[in-house]
């Protein structure tokens, strides 16, 4: 039986880490974790973010992915000027709650998704996001590839091509395991990558990638200044082009973003092949999410049909 998230259960989580909470307010944005603003007795505000229950239904890289956030936030605050919250506490002991949780400093600003901003203001925000991601990709790098965090969903790989092969196979395995791909479909989707692997086999730095930049994860103040980039738990290390595909999918990849990013995209035939598979990587995750978490099988079938149409349209151009 899941523990209810009420002030009676939330208060002890903060008290165990030296905070004296006075009140809680649920944060409406966010689709994965349960998050609350907590006002403390001394007037400060913090964010309490609670991971889903262990039986919520996960993609391979989502299970206990909160574990990597303290290290990532520390790195980002030390190495970049990106506005990122300080992690004040991380608890995976399960002593007080049957889930992991974080306590973070509260950043100023409001989620872009909750603001009625248009035109020039949106462009200013997107340009800043572009600058932040350029700094992220240029500054935070590693010597191996894949999901390298403490949640350890895969073995780190020596090349990006090898890492993406593992990631692709694991994602297809998740879709098969939830019943959305039958065995023949899973084999076909896995093997669809094989004739195109040469497009991924190139020197590319292992950059830190946020992988979930969309309007709910961009905090903006009253002057259309980006005050925070939040929800780093899906981060991975690899090819920035996979981040670009997520930005395309989430409506962030507008001209203003690219002005801020300050670098042109590769539009070669091989880059188009990579983009197709990166888009499919993003798209196919919703087959699992709609099947296991949202319990919306009709939506899962629509995502599946879309993914299979895209796969059918792929050619070996440029390989």
CB 272 within 8 A of CB 245: no
The fold for domain 111-313 equals: Aminoglycoside 3'-phosphotransferase; Chain: A, domain 2 (3.90.1200)
Residue range 32-41: mean pLDDT, rounded: 96
The residue ranking higher by pLDDT, 2 or 253, is 253
pLDDT (tens digit per residue) in 176-192: 999 999 999 999 999 99
Evaluate if residue 316 carries a pLDDT over 60. no
Residue with tokens 């939040």: 230
CA dist., res. 132 & res. 135, Å (int): 5
Evaluate if residue 269 carries a pLDDT over 50. yes
Residue range 289-299: mean pLDDT, rounded: 94
Q: What is the CATH number of domain 7-107?
A: 3.30.200.20
Full-prediction pTM beyond 0.85? Answer: yes
Residues of the chain within CATH 3.30.200.20 domain(s) are 7-107
For the chain, the average pLDDT equals 95
Evaluate if residue 318 carries a pLDDT over 50. no
CB 228 within 8 A of CB 219: yes
Evaluate if residue 4 carries a pLDDT over 90. no
Residues of the chain within CATH 3.90.1200.10 domain(s) are 111-313
CA dist., res. 45 & res. 14, Å (int): 12
Evaluate if residue 319 carries a pLDDT over 50. no
Neighbouring-strand partners of residue 105: 46
- Note every long-range contact of 242-245, with CB atoms under 8 Å and residues 24 or more positions apart, other chains counting: 242/164, 242/209, 242/211, 242/274, 242/278, 242/281, 243/133, 243/137, 243/209, 243/210, 243/211, 243/213, 244/275, 244/278, 245/275, 245/278, 245/279, 245/281, 245/282
Per-residue confidence (pLDDT) for residue 315, from 0 to 100: 55
Per-residue confidence (pLDDT) for residue 286, from 0 to 100: 97
């Amino acid at each position: 039986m899941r523990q209810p998230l009420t002030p009676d259960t939330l208060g002890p989580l903060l008290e165990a880490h030296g905070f004296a909470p006075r009140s809680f307010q649920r944060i409406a944005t966010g689709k994965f974790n349960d998050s609350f603003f907590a006002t403390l007795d001394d007037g400060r505000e913090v964010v309490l973010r609670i991971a889903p229950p262990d039986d919520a239904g996960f993609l391979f890289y989502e299970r206990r992915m909160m574990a990597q956030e303290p290290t990532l936030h520390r790195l980002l605050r030390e190495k970049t000027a990106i506005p990122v919250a300080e992690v004040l506490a991380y608890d995976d002991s399960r002593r007080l709650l049957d889930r992991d949780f974080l306590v973070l400093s509260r950043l100023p600003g409001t989620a872009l998704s909750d603001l009625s901003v248009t035109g020039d203001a949106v462009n200013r925000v997107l340009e800043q996001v572009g600058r932040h991601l350029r700094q992220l990709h240029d500054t935070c790098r590693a010597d191996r590839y894949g999901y390298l965090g403490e949640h350890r969903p895969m073995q780190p790989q020596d090349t990006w091509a090898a890492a993406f092969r593992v990631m692709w196979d694991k994602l297809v395995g998740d879709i098969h395991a939830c019943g959305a791909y039958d065995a023949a479909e899973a084999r076909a989707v896995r093997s669809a990558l094989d004739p195109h692997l040469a497009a991924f086999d190139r020197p590319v730095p292992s950059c830190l990638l946020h992988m979930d930049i969309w309007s709910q994860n961009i905090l903006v103040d009253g002057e259309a200044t980006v005050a925070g980039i939040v929800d780093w738990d899906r981060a991975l290390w690899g090819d920035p082009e996979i981040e670009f595909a997520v930005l395309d999918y989430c409506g962030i990849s507008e001209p203003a973003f690219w002005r801020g990013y300050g670098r042109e995209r590769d539009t070669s035939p091989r880059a188009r092949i990579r983009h197709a598979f990166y888009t499919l990587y993003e798209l196919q995750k919703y087959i699992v999410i709609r099947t296991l978490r949202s319990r919306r099988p009709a939506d899962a079938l629509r995502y599946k049909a879309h993914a299979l149409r895209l796969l059918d349209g792929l050619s070996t151009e440029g390989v």
